[in-house]
Amino acid sequence: MLNITKNANGEELQINLEGRLDTMTAPQLEGELKTDLGGVSTLIIDIEKLAYISSAGLRVLLSAQKIMNKQGSMIIRKPSEEVQEIFDVTGFSDILTIE
Amino acid sequence: MSVLNIRASVEELNRVSAFVDEQLEAHDCPFKAQMQIDVAVEEVFVNIASYAYAPGDGEASISVEFPEPGGEGPDRPCVLIRFEDAGVPFDPLAKTDPDVTLSAEERAVGGLGIFMVKKNMDEVHYVYEDGKNILTLCKYL
């Protein structure tokens, strides 16, 4: 299960993810991003409460990063130690801006 | 050893994950190892569900075992998770690893699944036997 909450403030969009970003839930986030990124120059994805990420979730983050590289910046906030380790082994730590 | 026979469909992923988690929790598996195992199980099962029988349907079997150290398996505490399917022969380990040093622009979206399995598990073995793909994951505990 994945809960997505969004806060939009001008050209900044913050998305908070809670739960699991996996094969079943990744399309949900992908759909939200597809409709929401127009006119956004700063995308912040807070994953403090994200317990789990699989390659399906990484794919969605990579797609979002590619879009934001063209129109602004994307920041990933507060990954758990376990999620950070997934970013590390997959090289995503170097691709994503993680705070 | 516990075994789950299930339709090889992505819709069954939650049941597969729940089955494996139940076994891991019963053996007090550390949280970090459990998450790594969950990731590997998802990648392997989704692969089977997506490709083994495409475009048709078929079954997969998943077994979880905690062998006694010193037997036939590794000589240390571990969990063995074995996936079997009777689909097209496919060795997921034969694939070249993706280049994880590329930038976002250069990276293909995808191709990470099996790489994550290899990185997160201590041993991964594949064999095609009696018309079945058999992939065994081993994680030291």
pLDDT of residue A92: 92
pLDDT of residue B46: 94
* A95 contact residues in B (CB cutoff 8 A): 103-104, 107
- Cross-chain residue pair A23–B112, CB shorter than 8 Å: no
- Cross-chain residue pair A52–B10, CB shorter than 8 Å: no
Residues B100 and B86 sit within 8 Å (Cβ to Cβ): no
- pTM of the full predicted structure? 0.88
pLDDT of residue A29: 96
Position B110 confidence tier, pLDDT thresholds 50, 70, 90: low
Position B109 confidence tier, pLDDT thresholds 50, 70, 90: low
- The stretch B44-56 carries a mean pLDDT of 94
Rounded to the nearest 10 degrees, how much is the dihedral formed by the CA atoms of B105, B106, B110, B114? Answer: -140
User: Given a cut of 90, is residue B135 above it in pLDDT?
Assistant: yes
Domain A2-95 in this protein, CATH class: alpha beta
- Does the domain formed by B2-140 have CATH 3.60.130.10? no
Domain ranges of chain B: 2-140
What does pLDDT average to over chain B?
Answer: 92
Residues B101 and A91 sit within 8 Å (Cβ to Cβ): yes
B48 touches chain A (CB under 8 A): no
Domain ranges of chain A: 2-95
Q: B10: exposed, middle or buried (C-beta count within 10 Å: 0-12, 13-18, 19+)?
A: middle
